[in-house]
Copies of this chain bind each other. A is one copy, B any other.
Amino acid sequence: MSTPQPASVATTKVTPISGFPEYLPSERIVEQRFLDVIRETFELHGFSSIETRAIEPVDRLLGKGGDTDKEIYGVSRLSGDDGDGAKWGLHFDLTVPFARYVLENSGKLDFPFRRYQIQKAWRGERPQEGRYREFTQADIDVVDVGELSPHFEAEMPLVIADVFSRFPVGDFVIQVNNRKIPNGFYQGIGLTDITTTLRIVDKLDKVGPEKVSAMLVDSGATSEQAGKCLALAAIRTHDLSFVDRVRELGVTHPVLDEGLESLAAVIRTAMSHAPGKVVADLRIARGLDYYTGTVYETQIVGQEDWGSVCSGGRYDALASDGRNTYPGVGISIGVSRILGLLIGKGLVTASRSTPAAVLVALRDDESRDESVAVAAALRARGIACEVAPSAARFGKQIRYAERRGMPYVWFPGAGESGDEVKDIRSGEQVPASADSWIAPAADLRPTVTRTDV
């Protein structure tokens, strides 16, 4: 990836724009592989793809997803507006456009509607490691009309566990909580400003328990109440024992009961279908106000300092048009965040910079037709290849392939009985026919591997 530097408008000197990462071809192959895994897994789970336009009316963007007004990129024609008075901005996530899409097409969609969406989004914030101003997200959501069955909240982590198991990123853990647990718990110990309390407890990772305790007391809690809040946030179990651990704190409230029951259902499903991948973590809050039930975060084991790379939750009203309310549950993979870190730190690399597995060599300029025919025959059987750009001596043609990481060079008419193909890694050259030669599956496409394990 390019190193962030200030933008330049000079035509002969070109420098990257900070926060707008671009990949070199071999890095892009890594990105494509991750995106392919995401799409394939989402589709295996029966999610339908949609794409929304890059822009939304600014009024729709403002006030959604919290305090984002300063982060929106406005869009307008350089020569003036389009005459319809609309003010547009680039979307800063995929949830706001999806909510609008559901309202706009509610009569044409089948509910419950399972959709995935893999697109870029834009935020005008200060770029830093793993945080970009242009970035790709991959979202799934299930949305229904009026009521959403709670089992969808248990389904989300199974899909995400399936995706991350296919990534070359090693171990990961999906942390789940239910907003009703802290909500009910805080009410049960006599706290009334739930939002402030949540917000303070959410700082645990950053400032530690002592400071959180002090901030809670500053906000009006007794030190005993603050202690209970911290005790709740410390509970983290892979099984259903979190329920007893909460009960031991001696707090009761009907909303707390609801939350515990709901989280237990999610963890129970995960124990059966994604064992070891999901943990009940009562510290997880998620900042966004529209989450009302289950909330999710995901960490890569050993890379906890990267923060959550996949987050989401349940919301009672994704959208509402006055007549109907559309509750939903969704989760979003921060693709650019994961890849920026993996690629930036050189943790995942591709075996070559081109999809081509084979370079078809050129004996002389007169025989280009023959080489083009060989290439066509290979492609017809799904083998990506290109013809050498010039009839340089074979050593130079081999180096052309080598530099790009292509494993094979094909020599039309090189053998006594026809063509030959050379594995340029081993140097082995054998007779072969373009109509029958089989490339090892591992060579057919570039391999993408974790390099530090």
Q: Mark A265-307, 1 if CB is under 8 A from B, else 0.
A: 0000100110000000000000000000000000000000000
Q: Decide yes or no whether A386 CB sits under 8 A from chain B.
A: yes
Q: Decide yes or no whether A122 CB sits under 8 A from chain B.
A: yes
A14 close to B100 (CB less than 8 A):
yes
Report the Cα distance A221→B12, complex, angstroms: 40
Report the Cα distance A76→B272, complex, angstroms: 49
User: Closest residue of chain B to A272, judged by CB?
Assistant: B369
Q: Decide yes or no whether A205 CB sits under 8 A from chain B.
A: no
User: Closest residue of chain B to A59, judged by CB?
Assistant: B9
Q: Of the candidates B52, B114, B384, B400, which one forms a contact with A386 in the assembled complex, judged by CB atoms under 8 Å apart?
A: B114
Q: Mark A250-264, 1 if CB is under 8 A from B, else 0.
A: 000000000000000
Q: Of the candidates B53, B112, B404, which one forms a contact with A389 in the assembled complex, judged by CB atoms under 8 Å apart?
A: B112
User: Closest residue of chain B to A116, judged by CB?
Assistant: B355
A373 close to B50 (CB less than 8 A):
no
A44 contacts across to B, CB distance below 8 A: 355, 379, 382-385
B110 close to A7 (CB less than 8 A):
no
Q: Decide yes or no whether A103 CB sits under 8 A from chain B.
A: yes
The stretch among A82-90, A179-187, A428-436 that forms the contact with chain B is: A82-90
Distance of A174 from chain B, by nearest CB (Å): 16
A384 contacts across to B, CB distance below 8 A: 43-46
Q: Decide yes or no whether A128 CB sits under 8 A from chain B.
A: no
A28 close to B55 (CB less than 8 A):
no
Q: Decide yes or no whether A354 CB sits under 8 A from chain B.
A: yes
Do A76 and B77 form a contact, CB below 8 Å, given A55-B20, A355-B43, A389-B149?
no
A101 close to B22 (CB less than 8 A):
yes
Report the Cα distance A438→B28, complex, angstroms: 34
Q: Decide yes or no whether A124 CB sits under 8 A from chain B.
A: yes
Q: Mark A88-108, 1 if CB is under 8 A from B, else 0.
A: 111000000000110111001
Q: Decide yes or no whether A75 CB sits under 8 A from chain B.
A: yes
Report the Cα distance A384→B45, complex, angstroms: 6
Report the Cα distance A43→B272, complex, angstroms: 40
Distance of A441 from chain B, by nearest CB (Å): 15
Q: Decide yes or no whether A173 CB sits under 8 A from chain B.
A: no
